[in-house]
Amino acid sequence: MRGTPIFFYIFVMWLLIIAGGALIVPIIAHISIHGFGKTDNLIDSAVKASIAIMLVVIWILIMSKIKNWIFHKQINH
């Protein structure tokens, strides 16, 4: 089956998107940082943005590894 690896890639991509939404919306969105006075909102936003950026980088690395695995598998056949 020639098209199976690409469907696997798309499936994993959508799985990561859904997992990311499930992680970011109910968990990370409710993070609240207090105790810094007027900069509470700024620090709160910076922490949330840092977490989101780290998750995106991790997802890109995962998708890159899967893509490389698919291409190596295709080249070896």
Domain count, the chain: 1
User: pLDDT per residue over 4-24, tens digit each?
Assistant: 777 888 888 888 888 888 878
Q: What is the mean pLDDT of residues 28-46?
A: 86
- Taking the C-alpha atoms of residue 16 and residue 12, their distance in angstroms, rounded to an integer, is 6
**CB-count burial class (<10 Å; 0-12, 13-18, 19+) for 48:** middle
Residue 69's domain comprises 42-77
Single pTM value for the model: 0.73
Q: What is the mean pLDDT of residues 24-39?
A: 84
Which of 16-20, 21-25, 46-50, 68-72 is predicted most confidently?
46-50
The residue type found at 30 is: H
Whether 59 maps to a domain, the answer reads yes
pLDDT at position 5? 78
